[in-house]
Every structure is written in structure tokens, then in C-alpha cells.
Amino acid sequence: MEKSDFHASFTYKNLMDSSSALIHYVDLDGNLLYTNQAWRDTLGYTPVQVKTRSIFSVLSSKSHKTYHRILNMARNGTEPGHHELIFKLSSGKETELSGLISLMKDDQGEVIGATGFLKLSAYIDEPFGMTIPRRSKEHRVDSIVKDKGNTYGGDMLLGLEDLNSPMNRFLDSIYDLVFFKDLDGYYRGCNNNFADLLNLPKNKIIGYSDYDLYPDHIADLFREKDAQILKDMTPRKNEEWVTLSDGSRSFLETLKTPYRGPDNELIGFLGISRDITERKIAEDKVAENEMWLNIYFTQSGNAKFFLMLENPISWKEVPVENQNQVMKEICRNLKINRINPALLDLYGITEEEIRNEEVPAGFLCDPEEGIEDLRTLLEQSNFSIVFEKTRKDGKDIVIEGDYMCLYDDQERLIGIFGNHRDITKEVLAEKETRERELYLRTVLETTRDGYYALDEDLKIIDVNEAYCGMCGYKKEELIGMSIMQHTIMEDEKSARERAQRIYKNGSELFESRHRKKDGTIFDVEVSVSTIKGKERTLIYFIRDITERKQLESYFLIEKDLFKNTIHSAADAVISTDSYGRVVIMNNMAETITGWSQEEAKGRPLEDVIHIHDSHGNHFSNIARESMKSRNKVELVEDYRLLTKGKGEVFIELSAAPITGSENEIIGAVVLFKDITRRREEMKNIEDLSYKDALTGLFNRRYLNEAVKSINENLSLPLTVMVVDVNGLKLTNDAFGHATGDKLLKEVATIIREVTRQEDVICRTGGDEFILLLPNSDRAQAKALKDRVVSLASRTKVDSLTVSLAIGYSVMRRADEDFDDVFTEADNNMYRNKLRYGQTIKRKAIDKLLNKLNRKNHDMYQHNKEVAQYAEKIGLSIGLNENEIEDLRQAARLHDIGKVMVPKDILQKAGKLSEKETNQIRKHSEIGYQLLKEVDDYKHLAETVLSHHEWYNGAGYPRRLRGEEIPLLSRIIAVADAYETMTGVRGYRTSISRDEAVTELLSCAGTQFDPDIVEVFVNQVLG
């Protein structure tokens, strides 16, 4: 060996062995080529023990995957950067080291391995600012070696000063900034990165001191720190902002280490710097966020606090049978970590007093009494509760408490954040409001006048019992009813114009006519006022003035105005003499009856008004009936009038006697109105309110009414049958709501076909039908169920077989509770659904897959080959049989969501638009929604959802990164990409195997898991 080679070899070894940094380097296969003394001393190995070892033999298995990734990056020419690694000591224990892993290159610049500089303990100096100038003065020292003799230290310096030496080539391969200074402060070596930082060639650095390169005050500071290192004989780390020659600023971390020669003589300092600007900026941002959080926490008007656990707890992994015990331990171990001033003010206590309590009562819950509240908090991650608490001064307050669980990056519970707000005033105000409302309600309910309130849509929102008594409706029937449904004097337009007038003027008094539930009309006096709040409300007070109006009519007759009144009336009016013969008949009466005044005059009333009820029974002369009873007679329910032309109209009719001055009966007045159209409208309204719009069956409202009348019209035995449509949500998601609606209509048709006319059929929910089958025992119910199931099994909707879950129960005695019978039927249905429902959903998924294959003929082959590639990868990495089967099924179904993507987009040859791209990207979420509905496949839903996530976090839909992405998804991503690139498609050109492999390798670590890519390329493809 020549002397220069000896110098180079020795100085390299001397440099590494003299460093307190833990240094090793390996070849591209991971074989250890060199370890320095500090590395061996720290891990407890001798040079002989590590001479022929692999790096993996001294690494914990936990870090094997990380180092494989480091070697892959080195083979690709990518700087591995900073890493944390777990090493095995010679004693068998483990320790964690961190530091920079850099590329190692040969003379031709080819990467031959990797070098690790691992972290050791060091002092941290305060940061200071530094600007790198261009200095004009040059006080260069040509060489110091000749002054020190031919020592090992001199050999080292010669190796550093020789710019072409192996030592310098090694330093240039290091990504960090490296320099070496002698004890006099002169630079004896550096790498290219350090020279680039100063914007100087190496020969303008080596041989120069800090005073030649920096301003004097900076050079003084460097020399002062060098002296401190000599004094302490300990490595020192500096962090400083450096302004580069181009004006940009970087934050550098520099580690200076004292170096000794083989005779333990100190020969200089080794400096290693790295750019940590991004980390510094991130730390500053964290500090700023912490500052604002602290401001918000301390200045908030609400009481806030943190309760923290010393040891994190993985709540989701706690077995159900152990949860109560764990919750008690959580309550005992929670400690107050931080409180704000508002909390002390709220409870009137000092910080010392509150910290002396383990967990103050009311801050979270009592371990014995509030365990269910804590369970809710742990299950939902947040929880709100209102409770009373007594302050230190004895004052009772009402607290609204909001709690939120805090988790670490492993999703373990580390504490609870709480927010307490004093709502005492709000509670008292609410109580006062309730008391005031109770008082007003009492006044309204005890008055004899009717009352109701209308919203801006003129619908009743409140009503008293007095008005319910007037009109014959129940309160719940009137709530939500439009005013137009029970008043007859105004159309909707006029009513709204009146409302606007009242809003403007504040009140109004007028007379109107209202309709009772039985159709009877009564006269009312209405007083209206308005209340202006968030929403405008009209307050109506109603007084029945029917008797008064009758008196007014009689008065008009006595004043000889009766005739004019009759002819001007809007309703049909006929007056008779005391014998019940027609005297006067107005135009409306002529129109309705078909009789003219001349034809009818003098005829008995029953000839002109021929009335019969719904059973065909004829009603005699109503005028004579009223005169005989001396009272008003009304006909309001299903009475029809036979006109002169033999037509029929529905009418509502009343007759009242007319008395003379001596109170003698002198005749009668008959009022009637054609209500045929109104009945039709009311019938339509009733049908709409009791019918399901989609199927035409009765709805839940009708069912509720039917159930109420069960006890009145018992037809025992009564069967209650519950029918549930299997897979409706899956059908809607997969085929669209139009297909789902079609499915429901088919089910309604099936049930109609097999039921009797007297059976009650209701659609009560999205996928639920309820049948009430009078006079049906269990055998008849089973026969009906079998007929429904048989007919459904032969019915298809868009290639889907109709599948139903059916349960029934029979009510045999009048004293049985209907709710209990219904609950039994519902439970039987669910048992039936659990038995057969999942099979139907699984078949639906298979049909979807077939539909997708028909839409895109290449899809079947694609899914088949992706499943085969994925299975081979799984076998190569050692997955067990169950995992392999899950992988194969997930790969087969990974594109199931594309069933919702139009065919022209799936097969488009050119570039997709942004809208089309978004449609394609939705397929993973759609597939997730479909699979999670099927028990056999829902464990695969997460895999399908994540198969387009990127290893670097740039994928979709959730931007997961690294091992956050399920392993099976990472495998499918590689198999899917390779098959897509190499598979033959009619709408695009495939690429070769080698081109596809090159693309996979280039995307390893960014789009794909590099370990899986390596297995696929080297083991699956060979």
C-alpha cells in the first residue's frame, strides 16, 4: 500500500472512530461494511462480532421494514433522510437511535451503499442569526501538517486537505454539510455541500479561519463555542438562521464533535450541519397555535378544564364485560391538568382548592352514579349534560356541561376536555316563561269564547277547548288544519289579503260563517289581533252568534224585507206558509232544484225538494217538521236532493219556523246548499291524508285510526302481519330510487292479489307494510304468508327477485293488548329477515357485478386477473388462508362501484373532464356503501373504499398515507395498476411488462407501498 493510500485509509478510520456520533455504513444488500467505536460501544459489540453481520441481525424486527425501505431508496438513488431505528443490544435489550441516513457513492458517482449518522446526547445552544458574506481578506494557512510532524493526526489532516482523496470523496457523498477545523480554528476539510453553502470553492475554505470567512463578531462567537467544546470535551449542537449569499434564509442544525488522534491527542473539530427550515417553521407554527389556544383558553368566558390520564387507555379494545371496571379506573385516575380563570370564578374557589380534589364532583361524573354518562361519552367521544351544582358560597347554579374525549395518535384515550357554562338565568327565564304560558293557557281554556292561533300559512297552531266544542273537532284534528277548511265565507286569496291587512293594522272585527265537523254551518263574530315575534301569529277569538243572526232574519221578515233578502242570499232559500207550501224561491234554489218560482209556488215543499238519505229513505216536508217542533231542523250527513231533471246533488239543509207578532207560527224558511263539489274535494283530501302516494295503499295515519277502532269493531281472531322488503336500501344505492320505487309498487301489487277486500293493507315506512286480517287464525295467516312468498319469488324487478321478510301474530281475545300482538309480529319478521335477508343482498351484489361486466366487457377479465395477481402477492408475503380468501374476494369486487358510472365514461379513450374524473373517483365510495349492507361482504368494504389511496397520502377518497391504508388495499392497488397498464382494452393501447414494472418502481413510496411493489416485481413476476 502506498503512503497516500495509507493516509487516506487511516484518516478515514481515524475520523470515524474519533467521532462520538454512532456511524455505520452498509452495502446495497444490507451487509455491514463498517461501524465506528462509538457505535460498537453503545450497542455492546466487538469488531469481530459485527465483522460479517447484516444490519438486520442487529436491528429489532420492528425496524426491518423501515431499513428495507431505506435500501430500496438507496438503490433508486433517493436520499433516505432522517429515520428512527430500534437496535438490539448485545445484552438482548432494545434501544432507539435516530439520525440521518445518507447515500454513499464511489469515484464515478455510483451509489454503492448507505451511511448512517445516528443521534447522541448533546447540549442545545440558544439560536442566533448569521449571514454568510463574501470576504475579500485572505489569511490562508497553507498547511499545518508540517508543523505537527508525521503523526497519525497529521495523516488525517493530509487526507482532508487532499481534495481528491477517498476521504473527501466519502465526505462529498454525504447529504449533510460536513467540515473539519483544527485546534487553531482553521478549516482542514469540508464537503461540497458545505462549500456550496458559503458559495466558495473548497480551496477558498481549506486553510482559512472563521475570521477569513465571516464577520468578526460571528467569528468571535464561533471561536468562543469551540473553546467551550474544548473545556467540556462534549459535543455541542447549535441551531441558527443562516442568510445565504443569494439572499435566502435557512435554519441550520450543526453538531460539533471533538476529534482525537490514536494517541488520544485532540486534533480538531468535526462539524455536521443539516437544513431543518421546514421543521423550524412547523415548530414556530405549533408555538403560535399554542399561543392562540392559550389566549382562547384563558380569556374565554366559559369554564374550561382538562382532565388527563397518566396512562393512555385503548377503550375500543376493552371487552364489554370489563367496561364497568375500566370506567371506574378512569374516574379514579383522571387528574386535573389545566383550568382557566373562568372556572374559578364560576365555582368561587381557588386553583389550590380545586387541584386538591382528585376529580371534583360534577366535573365529570360520580364513579358509582354517573357510570352510564361516562359510557356514553366514551362511546360517542362527546357528551352534553345539564346538572345542578352548589358553589362554595352556597349558591345553587345550573350548569350545562360539554365533554370531549382526547386521543393520542394511536387512538388511545389520554384525557377529557370539559366546558361548563352557567345557564341559571336561562333556566329561570324559561321557568318564568312556562309559568306565564300556563297562566295564559288557563285563561284561554276557561273562557266561553273560542280561541285559535294561526301561523303565516294560515294553519292552526293552537286552539282551546271552547272552540273544539263549537265545531265538533278534537284539538289534535284542528292543529295543522288550514283556516279555509272550516270557514266558508272567504276563498284563500281573500283570507290572505285579510291577514296582510291585520298584520298592518294590528286588529280587526268582523262576522263570518264556520263549518262544524259534521258539516253544519254556524255564524260567528271574529275578533283578530296579531303578535309580532320571530314569526307573525294571528290570534282569533270566536263567538257563536247563530241565535242572534236568526233573530236578525226574523226582524227583516217583520220589516217586509224578507223577500229581498231571500233573493239576494248566496245560498238557496225557500219560504213556505204555515202549511208547508212554497211561497218564495230565490234564484239559487231554482238553479239547484230545476224548478222555477212560477212552477213551484203553491206546491208542497216535498214536491220541490225531494230528499233521501244514503240508505234511500225519503225525508218528508222539512218545513212542517220545523214548524211542528218550533225548532230549527238540520240535515247535514249524506243527504241527496233529486232534481226535477232526475239528477242528484248532495246538500246541507236547515229549516226554521217563522213566528208572527203574537208568537204564532206563520211559516218556515228553508236554507240549503249544493255541497257535491265540496264533498268530492274533502274526499280527495281525506284520501290523500290516509293514502300512501307511491303505492296507493293506506298509510300509517290510517293504520293508527284503524287500531283505535279495533276494540269497537273486533273481528276475532285478528292477525297482525308485518312485511319488510329485503334489500331496499341496497336496491336504491345500486339501481337508483326509480327501481326502488318500482320494487315497492310490485310488493303492493303482490299483497293486493292475495288479500281479501276486508283486509287492511298499509305501507307504514320506507320498506315496511302492515296487514290487519280480521277473522284470520294462525293457519290462515301462514297460508297467506306462503302465498305472498311464493308470488314474490316469481316476480322480478330489473333482474332482481322480490324478497320479503314476513312475521305475524294472532290476537285471539278482546282483552289482549294490541301493542303486544304487534311487537310479537314485528319480532317474528326480524327473525325471518335475519334468516333470509342477507342471502338476498349477497345475490344482489352478484347481479350488480354481472351488470358491470355487461356494461364493460373488459371488466370481467380485469377483475379476474387483479384477483389472481393479488392472491400471488398475498401468498408471497405469508397471508393465511382466511386473509387470502378476503383478498381474492375484495379484488374481485374492488370496482363494484363503477356500476353507477356511465358506460361512455368507463370506455372513453381520450382525456376525462374534471366532472367525469370525479364521477369515476366516486366508485370506491359507492362500492363501500354497497358492500357494508351485506354481512358476508361488509368486512371487505373498508378494503374496497381504500384501494385508490396513495402511499404518500395523495390518493382518494380520504387521503390516507402509509400503513393507515389497509394492507389488502395496498396489495390490490399494485395488482390493479399493473393489470390496467398491461391488460388489453378496446378503447386504449396497453404497455409492455417491462414498461409497467418501470412505472411501478418509479411510483414505489409515492403511489404504492414499496415493499409490496418489491414483492410483486421480484417474486410474483420473477
Output the DSSP codes for 273-327: EEE-HHHHHHHHHHHHHHHHHHHHHHH-SSEEEEEEEEEEE-GGGS-GGGHHHHH
Domain ranges of the chain: 22-119, 128-275, 300-423, 447-544, 548-680, 694-843, 856-1020
Which tens digits make up the pLDDT trace of 800-851?
Answer: 778 888 999 999 888 888 888 888 888 888 877 766 655 656 666 666 666 6
Query: Other CB atoms closer than 10 Å to residue 397's CB: what's the count?
Result: 18
Match domain 856-1020 to its CATH number in 3.40.50.300, 3.40.1190.20, 1.10.3210.10, 3.40.50.11750: 1.10.3210.10
β partners of residue 574: 585, 670
Same topology, domains 128-275 and 300-423? Answer is yes
Q: What is the pairing mode between strands 633-642 and 572-577?
A: unpaired
Architecture of the domain made up of 22-119: 2-Layer Sandwich (3.30)
Of 261-265, 618-622, 913-917, 940-944, the range with the lowest mean pLDDT is 261-265
Give the pLDDT mean for 618-631. 84
150 pLDDT higher than 50: no
CA gap 71, 30 in Å, rounded? 7
pLDDT at 878: 92
Give the residue among 870, 875, 873, 876 at the shortest CA–CA distance from 889: 870
Within 738-891, strands assigned E span 760-763, 768-773, 796-797, 800-801, 804-811
The residues pairing with 242 across neighbouring beta strands, listed in sequence order, are 130, 250
Closest to 600 in 3D by CA, of 626, 576, 621? 576
For residue 911, what is its C-alpha cell?
382525456
Cell numbers 283556516 correspond to what residue?
483
Decide yes or no: CATH 3.30.450.20 for domain 447-544. yes
| Reported pTM | 0.34
The yes or no reply on domain 128-275 and CATH 3.30.450.20 is: yes
Top-level CATH class of 300-423? alpha beta
Q: What is the pLDDT of residue 689?
A: 67
CATH code given to domain 548-680: 3.30.450.20
pLDDT single digits (tens) 446-473 = 667 888 888 888 899 888 888 888 889 9
Is the pLDDT at 135 greater than 50? The verdict is: no
| pLDDT score, position 249 | 80
Q: Which of 281, 259, 284, 256 is nearest to 271 (CA)?
A: 256
What are the pLDDT digits (tens) for 42-62? 889 998 888 888 999 999 988
> Quick one: 694-843 is in which CATH superfamily?
Reverse transcriptase/Diguanylate cyclase domain (3.30.70.270)
pLDDT digits (tens, 9 = 90+) for 189-217: 888 888 888 888 988 898 899 898 888 88
Tell me: the pLDDT tens digits for 269-309? 888 888 788 888 888 888 787 787 778 777 888 888 888 89
